[in-house]
Homo-oligomer: A and B are copies of this chain.
């Protein structure tokens, strides 16, 4: 899928929390990755179509020191093939104790214009990654290299990540709190509705700060929505 500028602008105003709400509203209850946290939470939100990598467990005769130099190595191929603007997202089977990626490959992805990296597993060189401006989400810092636990089996196939289905092209969104997968066919409408919802919640917070009870305010009744309309008009 291609993200339009409008979609990018809408996603930039969304939060992971709001996106899960709007997906539940559409019947999708399992969209937020479990056990995955930002390495560099101070960056702006990330959004981009999924380019997937699928790891299976390593086998000592195939995966060893030096495997990275094999031209058949699918992880390394994927690093050079993932398209700019996409989120590089890997199925690490939730294993936090093996590094699914490290800072050199992460830098290459950043240089190639990827929008971010997500793994439901460990990442090494997290010190360097935390200081860089490419958003990386993972299960935690892990020193041992990829080939001690992982073998890249496939790229750009549907995968599991953090307990959630990820299809190539789904929009992968991340903020300081969580990563959410938005199915491709819902992305535009959910992003637009999300941006609007964030604005409304910003107003509701002013109401709460003004001392109103949540009754009639959260969720808002007609009176509150009318005040919201006025507030919104003023701000524009």
Contact = CB atoms under 8 A, between A and B. Distances in A.
A213 to B, nearest CB: 6
Contacts of A126: 176-177
Contact of A125 (B56, B65, B177): B177
A90 to B, nearest CB: 13
A118 interface: no
A104 interface: yes
A215 interface: yes
Interface size, A (range): 35 or more
A196 interface: no
A207 B40 CA distance: 24
Copy number in the complex reads 6
A176 to B, nearest CB: 5
A76 B165 contact: no
Interface string A42-74: 000000000000001111110011101101000
Nearest to A64: B24
Interface in A170-189: 175-178, 180, 183
A20 B145 contact: yes
A148 B24 contact: yes
A158 B56 contact: yes
A193 to B, nearest CB: 12
A87 interface: no
A17 B143 contact: yes
Given A29-B60, A69-B219, A177 B20 contact: no
A163 B94 CA distance: 11
A28 B143 contact: no
15 contacts: A17-B125, A17-B143, A24-B64, A24-B144, A24-B148, A29-B144, A32-B144, A56-B165, A58-B165, A68-B218, A103-B205, A104-B205, A125-B177, A143-B180, A153-B158
Interface of A: 15-17, 19-21, 24-25, 27-32, 34, 37, 41, 56-61, 64-66, 68-69, 71, 76, 79-80, 93, 97, 99, 102-105, 107-108, 111, 124-127, 140-145, 147-148, 151, 153-154, 157-160, 163-166, 175-178, 180, 183, 201, 204-205, 208-209, 211, 213-215, 218-219
Which 3 residue pairs spanning A and B have beta carbons closest together? Answer: A143-B178, A17-B124, A16-B143
